[in-house]
Amino acid sequence: MAGSLKVGVLGSRGRMGAEVCRAVEDTPGMELVAAVDTGDDREQLSEAQVVVDFTTPDAVMNNIAWCIDAGLHVVVGTTGFDNERLDQVRATLTDAPSLGVLVAPNFGIGAVLMMRFAASAAPYFESVEIIELHHAGKIDAPSGTARRTAELVSRAREGKPSPDVTSQEISGARGASVSGVRIHSVRLEGLVAHQEVLLGGHGEALTIRHDSLARESFMPGVLLGVRWVTEHPGLTVGLEAALGLD
């Protein structure tokens, strides 16, 4: 299709990858040129301009390096990114200054706004904790969205800890600590992706919650990222910049 943005998908037979393939095929101005999964030849992706990766934490770093080496922009929805991995992506991009890589912990526009609202509210409350709830097939805990939320909240609070005098506990009862913010992970059949940020102050509490009820809810953000990344070289973390929120 002449003039269309050519898109390839890694992880195309997974739940999110298959949804991305359908979304690209249904979007005017985009063309799905390669749908690649485990065991397939990645060379098919060489026809693309942008590759979307929804694979696994074990595979994603090699995929990103391969795409950059092939001269392809990358949009990453795979979870498992910490600062060390992000620094590795930046290093890989050093010799490819014209390429863009967008790593988004969540492509749900409502989820991005939830994180932003939580960061805005966090300095005004004594306590903050996060509960994230996902389907039973999710392999990482806590989720990338929860990790990102904790980092944003901690930054907004300038690292101020929540009060907690717990002296006796069963290991894990207080959840994981990310940037000093407690995260509690729930894995339950029937869920998709949900998160609550609980903020407590003197005589009041505020709950900020986002629910993704179907995987198609992430597609507007994915498609936005695919269009945006081609004009924004370097590494970008989060969808905020593409939404004009930075």
Over residues 119-156, the pLDDT tens digits come to 999 999 999 999 999 999 998 899 999 999 999 999 99
Residues 40 and 87 in one domain: yes
Residues 46 and 167 in one domain: no
**Residues linked to residue 132 through DSSP beta bridges, in sequence order:** 185, 195
Q: Say whether both 71 and 126 belong to one domain.
A: no
Query: Are residue 73 and residue 59 in the same domain, yes or no?
Result: yes
Instruction: Give domain status of residue 242, yes or no.
Output: no
* pTM of the predicted structure, to 2 decimals: 0.86
Q: Which helix (H) or strand (E) holds 176?
A: strand 176-178
The answer to whether residue 245 is domain-embedded is no
Domains identified in the chain, total number: 2
| Residue 20 shares a structural domain with residue 70 | yes
Indicate whether 246 belongs to any domain: no
Q: Is the dihedral of CA 72, 75, 80, 85 positive or negative?
A: positive
pLDDT tens digits for 114-125?
999 999 999 999
| CA distance linking residue 222 with residue 23, whole number of Å | 9
**Total residues found in the chain within this entry:** 246
Considering the domain architecture, whether residues 202 and 113 belong to the same structural domain is answered as: yes
Burial class (CB in 10 A: 0-12, 13-18, 19+), 134: buried
The answer to whether residue 224 is domain-embedded is: yes
| Catalytically annotated residues | 134, 138
User: Does one domain contain both 99 and 24?
Assistant: yes
Residues 13, 99, single domain; the answer is yes
Q: How many CB atoms lie within 10 A of CB 181?
A: 26
CA gap 183, 200 in Å, rounded = 15
| Average confidence (pLDDT) over 80-103 | 95
- 10-29 pLDDT, tens digit each: 999 999 999 999 999 999 99
So what's the pLDDT on residue 2?
57
The two beta strands, 127-134 and 193-200, are antiparallel
In this structure, is residue 244 part of a structural domain? no
Using DSSP's 3-state secondary structure scheme, residue 153 falls into helix
Q: Is residue 230 part of a domain?
A: yes
3-state secondary structure of 34: strand
Q: Please report, for the domain that includes residue 94, its CATH number.
A: 3.40.50.720
- Would 129 be classed as within a structural domain? yes
Is residue 92 assigned to a domain? yes
**DSSP conformational letter for 82:** -
Same domain, 117 and 96: no
Q: How much is the mean pLDDT over the chain?
A: 95
Residue-range definition of the domain harbouring residue 190:
109-213
